[in-house]
Structure 1
Amino acid sequence: MQGRVRVGVAASGRTSLDFGFRMLPMDRDLDHARGVRTIVHVDPTTLEPKPWSDEFRAAMADGLGPAAAVPVMS
């Protein structure tokens, strides 16, 4: 069976990003599975959350919105 996987930035925070995932059949927009993965930007010295740079946040914000929207499980 073939299928499609869609991945997109679902949310962007000061120190984290949420990526949404959807698995769909080739012929329909019907979710077979969906999920979310959160990553945190960590300072390598202190191992504490570290804010993303303004440039990185701007680049990630370009990926947000209706065209790139990936539903996130609540």
Structure 2
Amino acid sequence: MSEAPPKQVAIAMEKLGQAERIIADIQIDADCLLEALFISAGQPHQGNIKPIQVFVREHECMEQHFQDLQSLVLMK
């Protein structure tokens, strides 16, 4: 079995590091999203829009992170 050239290994390691950071961001966003759902489920509807705003913001962030991850995977 032949070894990969050092440049290819370095590029692959950089991509793995980037993917790791994006996945960590997705996990943080998911935690915030679940927290917003938990808070909104425990509160009577008194016109408190904040949990909904948090939910929408975190959902948008997660979508962006998934797009970033997909772009990273498709990059050659």
TM-score normalised according to structure 2 size:
0.28
TM-score normalised according to structure 1 size:
0.29
| Structure having the higher Rg | 2
Which one has the bigger helix percentage? Answer: 2
Which one has the bigger strand percentage? Answer: 1
Give the structure, 1 or 2, with the largest relative contact order (CA under 8 Å, sep 6 or more): 2
